[in-house]
Amino acid sequence: MAALTEHWDDVVSRLDDARRQELRGLVAEVGGVGHAGAVTRITELLVAELPPAHPVRRALAKGYLYQSANADWLTLRQDLLAAAGVTAAETLASGPGEEDEGGAEAITDGGESPEGILAEVTDRLLRMPALTEDEVRRRGADPADLGLIRLDRPDGGQQWPKFQFARDGGPLPVVRIVNTLLGAETDPLGVADWWLGANAWLGGRPSDLIGDVPDELLLRAARAVTEEV
């Protein structure tokens, strides 16, 4: 929510009129009786509409994937309402928030949480073909290579998405370059999502296009993402 507040103007510029109106309506409900559902839907909307490397998506990927966040919702609510230009009348329409009676700490995320949504995204990425640390070493690569995406599993283990490697070989140079460009060291989930998700600019999943399109095209697509943000 803090990242959404900071990048509000950029986020809404990427949405069509219907989505922009929906987001403002959801913001009006943050801290009100529909708080939990509003936060969940805002998260869904941002995941669907923003590119993986966008700073708000990065903030989501770095958030609390497996535990509830102890957020200062009262402060976040005030800042977000101001950024969104939501009026007092609009917030009253959503009903009084639980903080009106028991303070911001009384607001909780019930039902399907944003953390749960992000956990589903993480689970999808972790289900993709991957190598173990020993397999990476047998490919002649260093598991600690900062140019490789290394994903943490809930069980404490780690895995390396297989698309990064040549068939029975080591890391692909173009993958290492793109990973470094997109910041895989600090945002492995976001960069993995870029490779393994649909890309309108390329017309397919980048990971599926390795070797089928010129490396320079993949690099241009990655640079386009960094220029967007």
User: Which residue ranges make up each domain of the chain?
Assistant: 2-99+112-119, 128-228
Q: Residue 41 pLDDT more than 60?
A: yes
The answer to whether 69 and 63 are in contact (CB under 8 A) is: yes
Q: Residue 104 pLDDT more than 90?
A: no
Q: Residue 74 pLDDT more than 80?
A: no
Q: Name the β-bridge partners of 160.
A: 131
Q: Residue 141 pLDDT more than 90?
A: yes
The answer to whether 151 and 192 are in contact (CB under 8 A) is: yes
For residue 144, the tally of other CB atoms under 10 A from its CB is 9
Q: Name the β-bridge partners of 171.
A: 165
Q: Residue 109 pLDDT more than 60?
A: no
Q: In what order do the strands lie in the sheet with 158-161?
A: 130-131, 158-161, 151-152
Identity at 186, one-letter amino acid code: T
Q: Residue 223 pLDDT more than 60?
A: yes
For residue 70, the tally of other CB atoms under 10 A from its CB is 8
For residue 143, the model assigns a pLDDT of 94
**Whole-model pTM?**
0.55
Of residues 88 and 170, more confidence is placed in 170
- Kindly indicate the confidence band of residue 103, based on its pLDDT and cuts at 50, 70 and 90: very low
Q: Average pLDDT in the 70-77 region?
A: 65
Task: Give the ranges where the chain is alpha helix by DSSP (H).
Answer: 2-6, 8-13, 17-29, 35-49, 55-61, 73-84, 88-92, 99-102, 114-126, 133-138, 173-182, 188-196, 206-209, 215-228
Percent of the chain residues past pLDDT 70, beyond the cut? 75
The CA–CA distances, whole Å, from 19 to 23, 76, 167, 202 equal 6, 21, 42, 24
On the 0-12 / 13-18 / 19+ scale of CB atoms within 10 A, 158 is middle
Of residues 99 and 168, more confidence is placed in 168
Q: Residue 102 pLDDT more than 60?
A: no
